[in-house]
Amino acid sequence: MLSIPHALTGAFVANQIPIPAVYIPTAFAFHYLQDWIPHWDFGTGLSTGRRKKSTAILLEIGELIITFGLIYFVFQRGQTEVQYHIWLGGLMGIMPDLIESPRNFLGWEPAFLKPLNQFHGMFHNSTHHKVIGLLPQVITVGVILFLVKFT
């Protein structure tokens, strides 16, 4: 999935349960569950050559900037102190993709990361159909925004 739903999910969990021993593994678990749902993201097509690495990197950097802004506006804005748990939850929400990024973009995979990347790959279901692939992500973001606003 895109970083936006992953990171918002991790930040939301940390916001609801600000206990690191709970939100860190939960954010990881949600990442794998979300990747199991067929989805489209900027990495879709990398392995088949349908998308260039340089394009995926630029799109991902732009998306990370948007993700940072969304977490700020949804969870941090208006708070007098930095909500470290929210930022850490968001970071944990995208961590499996960050761990995999040196392999995907640089062709470099340290041996100790291989088992984590293989585990990540077991859950990954991509689709080239953008509507089907984006719908669950839009729903995820919508549900989180609804819950933040009304709970």
Cβ 46 to Zn ion shortest distance, Å: 13
Residue (10 or 96) nearer to Zn ion, CB: 96
Of the candidates 15, 35, 39, 56, which one interacts with Zn ion according to CB under 5 A? 35
End-to-end C-alpha distance for the chain, whole angstroms? 25
Residue (60 or 97) nearer to Zn ion, CB: 97
* Number of residues engaging Zn ion in binding (CB under 5 A): 3
Cβ 29 to Zn ion shortest distance, Å: 12
Of the candidates 24, 74, 86, 97, which one interacts with Zn ion according to CB under 5 A? 97
- Residue count of the chain, please give it: 151
Binding piece for Zn ion, criterion CB under 5 A, among 13-21, 58-66, 96-104, 105-113: 96-104
